[in-house]
Structure 1
Amino acid sequence: MDVTTEELRLFVDREQIRDCLARLARGEDRRDAAMITACHWPDATSDYGIFSGNFDEYLAWVVPGSDAIAATQHMLGQSMIDVRGDAARVETQVISYHRINMGAEERDVSIGGRYLDRMERRGGEWRIAARTMLYDWYQDFGQSIDWSQGVMGMAFSAGHFTGRAHGDHSEAFFGKSGE
């Protein structure tokens, strides 16, 4: 089977798009402004239904994020990627988890949906030009576990095993400065 230059270019484009989406999810989970910025064009727009605005407004909404949300995790599923030259339309399945401080207790909630991204390649780099969030389902799992008790009745040997939006152990793992 002969692979053409065009087929290889399409493969590389799709992989660069997937990488951008994964970096963005990590940036949002860690509330890392530099990582989020690197995934959007400066003139990008976002519409989440509960928020709509330009990139600067979006970044101010996501970073530092709500103090009531101590931990968040975005799990990306398959992406349908339609590349046409230097533009692409991408639908990505997402399940997001949020630990929300409700005042009297923390609750664990999940949202299932899809990102509809219009992406553009500029100067050889793929980034998001516009994002719309579609919501498919929402689940409130109730009161969050008390991590100070460990997991499944077994205590943690150190405090770094639980995830959180700020100061997560993964920042040290990836060598983020100050860790």
Structure 2
Amino acid sequence: MNTEQLLARLDALESRAAIETLISAYANAFDRLDRALLQSIWHADSSLDLPGFGSASNRDDILLMAENSWRQMPHMHHWMANPLIRIDGDSATGTVAADCVFYDVEKGPVQVSGLYHDTFERRAGKWAFTSRHFELHYLTPLKDWVPVAGNEPFASQQA
């Protein structure tokens, strides 16, 4: 293997690790209500489409949409699985399965399952999302679901 091939393989591994970190950072940012982390994973002209929850066509609007979601759903827990990532130079696409439990202030606890369809670009050496679209498979109210332990009390536990 020559140096050029070795560098290409190293770039592919580093790119995949960076993209998988973006996917994890998205879940952590929403779950922790972390505006700074959420801001760091998008290019300025990125878009986010969450049917039933909102859409945004740039990073600033994504942050506003997130803040609105956090008021509506102050407890979020995302699990991302099975990322399938295709890298082509400084562009990449991917899909990742998601299972989420939310506490919605109006609906109560709900489970949401679906698939994210993503595009990423590396600009000035930094990978970030350029678009994320959620394909909603299920939104299921968790009737009479009440956690019995943990450090995030839901409204029904505080009454």
After TM superposition, is the score higher than 0.5?
yes
State the distance in 1 between where 2:68 and 2:152 align: 16
Q: TM-score, normalised by structure 2?
A: 0.83
State the distance in 2 between where 1:132 and 1:124 align: 24
SS in 2 for 1:130: strand
State the distance in 2 between where 1:122 and 1:128 align: 11
State the distance in 2 between where 1:14 and 1:68 align: 33
Q: Which runs of 5+ in 2 are unaligned?
A: 154-159
State the one-letter code of the partner of 1:89. Answer: T
- Does residue 73 of the first structure (1) align with residue 77 of the second (2)? yes
State the distance in 1 between where 2:60 and 2:108 align: 29
Residue 36 of structure 1: CA displacement? 0.3
Residue 144 of structure 1: CA displacement? 3.7
Change (3 A) 1:92 1:135: same
Give CA-to-partner distance per residue, 1:89-134, whole Å, 9 cap, x none. Answer: 01111111101223xxx72211111111110001111100111111
- Does residue 162 of the first structure (1) align with residue 154 of the second (2)? no
CA RMSD of aligned residues (A): 2.2
SS in 2 for 1:17: helix
More helix by share: 2
**Partners of 1:32 and 1:63 within 8 A in 2:** no
Q: 2:24 matched to which residue of 1?
A: 22
State the distance in 1 between where 2:80 and 2:123 align: 24
Q: 2:56 matched to which residue of 1?
A: 53
**Partners of 1:31 and 1:65 within 8 A in 2:** no
Q: Which runs of 5+ in 1 are unaligned?
A: 152-160, 165-179
**Partners of 1:107 and 1:143 within 8 A in 2:** no
State the one-letter code of the partner of 1:125. Answer: K
Give the stretch that moved more between structures: 131-140 or 77-86: 131-140
State the distance in 2 between where 1:5 and 1:126 align: 18
Alignment length (residue pairs): 149
Change (3 A) 1:144 1:162: farther
**Partners of 2:56 and 2:65 within 8 A in 1:** no
Give CA-to-partner distance per residue, 1:22-77, whole Å, 9 cap, x none. Answer: 11211111221110010000111111123222222221011253434231011010
Q: 2:127 matched to which residue of 1?
A: 126
Q: Percent identity?
A: 19
State the one-letter code of the partner of 1:48. Answer: L
